[in-house]
């Protein structure tokens, strides 16, 4: 369906025909104890946790490498590697198995997370300015970016083949990852001294938790494939793929490239909405929150409280789609455009009336930023894979992740300019 709300005749008729065919199948098994939902939620937590660990421990890395722009180098490395790998995955998704990609990615996440505590114990030992250590750490970030492309692309893609609640679970899990890291940050802030020893302990805690969660994710993901409800939908996809091969003769070469571009055209407005969401969000959060607003009352706790508030409301927003899913594409994208109002509102928190510059308005706006980010992201991520045929839902999911990464990169760039 296009932005105008009118269906594209050829694609819409194909979807109706496919739905009619699949409706003759036996009803899907029940998700006993909601185990499939829980697994996909935990997987959503898992694939963002490594990045959150690296960026949350940025004060530790900044202490070790004072001459390096740690947060900027990490962000550029992670996003560029992830973007490049996603582009490759999109055009070769039909030749590879998401199950293999996700398991490989989860393994690479564990390796990248192990680098920091192991290097701290055997080489760094709290010493400052060791360039070799910085290069190895950047390499670990790059490896984590590769793992993210494999896991996130495969996970969002496979969730796109399942009923909507599983995509909602993954997206809500990503918000849960932010909440978990915020809780860890609050704990380390309260328990550990803010010196070299405290920074090392907190960094090792982030990475240790990340390793444990990735191990749990690996077990959970491999259990998920044995669940009857997941196997049922995988069998439907295989049937749909076989039917398309019988119709077209092949899904390789020019046929597949044509299919990919058709998928991009089908979900382009959803992708536009995702990009717009993250241009607004990343240009404000976390840079503006941590660097531009200050509180004489809360002091250095202020930024931590605001980040926690954002992450909690992001989780609330991504969970709300389990209660009510906005299915009107035009309204959802209109909401993405309306979020541009956050720019003048947050600017007012710096240069507006005195009351507007106090803690309460800033906190309320930050929570609203998280709530709208969470809800609209979840809506668009859920709806996008459903506008293509079942056998192409995985590729549609990977494409929407590509739009997401572009939005993250664009938002990070805009963040450098709009407040200055």
The token pair at 97 is 């198995």
CB 83 within 8 A of CB 402: yes
The reply to whether the predicted model has a pTM over 0.75 is: yes
Please indicate, yes or no, if residue 420 is contained in any of the structural domains: no
Please indicate, yes or no, if residue 3 is contained in any of the structural domains: no
Please indicate, yes or no, if residue 223 is contained in any of the structural domains: yes
Distance CA 240, CA 256 (A): 15
Segments in 285-358 forming alpha helices (H):
287-291, 301-320, 329-338, 342-351
Distance CA 310, CA 286 (A): 9
Question: Residue 384 is part of which domain span?
Answer: 9-414
Q: What is the per-residue pLDDT across 113-135, written as a single tens digit (0 to 9) for each?
A: 999 999 999 998 878 878 899 99
Q: Determine if residue 308 is left, alpha or beta; phi over 0 gives left, psi from -120 to 50 gives alpha, anything else beta.
A: alpha
Please indicate, yes or no, if residue 213 is contained in any of the structural domains: yes
Residue 341 three-state SS: helix
Here the CATH number for the domain that contains residue 46 is 1.20.1250.20
Please indicate, yes or no, if residue 49 is contained in any of the structural domains: yes
Distance CA 397, CA 157 (A): 4
Domain count, the chain: 1
Distance CA 287, CA 274 (A): 20
Q: Shortest CA distance to 169 belongs to which of 43, 273, 326?
A: 43
Q: Which residues lie below 8 Å from residue 130, measured CB to CB, with a gap of 6+?
A: 64, 65, 123, 124
- Preceding omega of 236 cis (within 30 degrees of 0): no
- Preceding omega of 260 cis (within 30 degrees of 0): no
Please indicate, yes or no, if residue 4 is contained in any of the structural domains: no
Q: What is the pLDDT along the chain (420 residues), one digit of tens a residue?
A: 455 444 444 455 555 555 545 545 678 889 989 999 999 999 999 999 998 888 888 888 888 998 887 877 888 889 889 989 998 888 777 778 889 999 999 999 999 999 999 999 999 887 887 889 999 999 999 999 999 999 998 999 899 999 999 999 999 999 999 899 888 888 887 888 878 888 888 888 989 999 999 999 999 999 998 999 999 998 988 888 888 878 776 666 677 788 889 999 999 999 999 999 999 998 888 766 666 666 667 776 777 788 888 989 999 999 999 999 999 999 999 999 999 999 999 888 777 777 777 788 888 999 999 999 999 999 999 999 999 988 889 889 989 999 999 998 888 788 777 654
Report residue 69 CA to chain centroid gap: 24
Report residue 328 CA to chain centroid gap: 23
Instruction: Output the CA torsion sign for 74, 77, 80, 83.
Output: negative
Distance CA 357, CA 366 (A): 13
Report residue 370 CA to chain centroid gap: 14
Distance CA 401, CA 86 (A): 8
Please indicate, yes or no, if residue 74 is contained in any of the structural domains: yes
CB 277 within 8 A of CB 411: no
Q: What is the per-residue pLDDT across 240-275, written as a single tens digit (0 to 9) for each?
A: 888 887 877 666 667 778 888 999 999 999 999 999
Distance CA 353, CA 303 (A): 21
């Amino acid at each position: 369906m296009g932005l105008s709300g009118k269906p594209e005749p050829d694609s819409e008729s194909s979807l109706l025909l496919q739905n009619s065919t699949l409706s003759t199948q036996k009803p899907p098994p029940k998700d006993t104890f909601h185990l499939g939902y829980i697994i996909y939620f935990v997987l959503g937590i898992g694939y963002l946790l490594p990045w959150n660990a690296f960026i949350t421990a940025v004060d530790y890395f900044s202490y070790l490498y004072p001459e390096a722009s740690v947060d900027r180098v990490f962000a550029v490395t992670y996003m560029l590697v992830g973007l490049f790998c996603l582009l490759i995955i999109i055009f070769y998704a039909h030749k590879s198995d998401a199950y293999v990609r996700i398991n490989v990615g989860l393994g690479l996440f564990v390796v990248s997370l192990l680098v920091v505590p192991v290097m701290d114990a055997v080489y760094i030992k709290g010493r400052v300015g060791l360039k070799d250590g910085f290069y190895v750490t950047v390499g670990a970030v790059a490896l984590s970016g590769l793992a993210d492309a494999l896991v996130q692309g495969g996970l969002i893609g496979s969730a796109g083949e399942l009923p909507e609640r599983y995509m909602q679970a993954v997206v809500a899990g990503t918000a849960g990852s932010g909440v978990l890291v915020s809780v860890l940050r609050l704990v380390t802030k309260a328990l550990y001294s803010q010196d070299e020893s405290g920074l090392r302990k907190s960094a090792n805690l982030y990475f240790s938790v990340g390793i444990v969660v990735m191990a749990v994710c690996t077990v959970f993901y491999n259990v998920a494939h044995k669940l009857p409800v997941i196997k049922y939908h995988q069998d439907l996809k295989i049937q749909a793929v076989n039917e398309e091969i019988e119709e077209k003769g092949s899904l390789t070469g020019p046929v597949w490239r044509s299919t990919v571009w058709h998928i991009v055209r089908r979900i382009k407005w959803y992708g536009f909405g995702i990009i717009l969401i993250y241009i607004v969000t990343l240009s404000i959060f976390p840079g503006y929150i941590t660097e531009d607003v200050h509180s004489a009352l809360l002091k250095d706790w202020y930024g931590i409280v605001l980040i926690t508030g954002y992450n909690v409301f992001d989780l609330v927003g991504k969970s709300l789609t389990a209660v009510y899913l906005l299915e009107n594409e035009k309204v959802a994208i209109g909401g993405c455009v309306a979020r541009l109002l956050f720019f003048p509102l947050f600017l007012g928190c710096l240069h507006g009336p005195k009351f507007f510059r106090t803690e309460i308005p800033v906190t309320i706006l930050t929570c609203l930023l998280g709530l709208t980010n969470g809800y609209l992201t979840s809506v668009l991520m859920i709806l996008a894979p459903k506008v293509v045929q079942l056998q192409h839902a995985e590729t549609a999911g990977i494409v929407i992740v590509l739009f997401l990464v572009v939005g993250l990169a664009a938002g990070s760039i805009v963040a450098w300019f709009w407040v200055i």
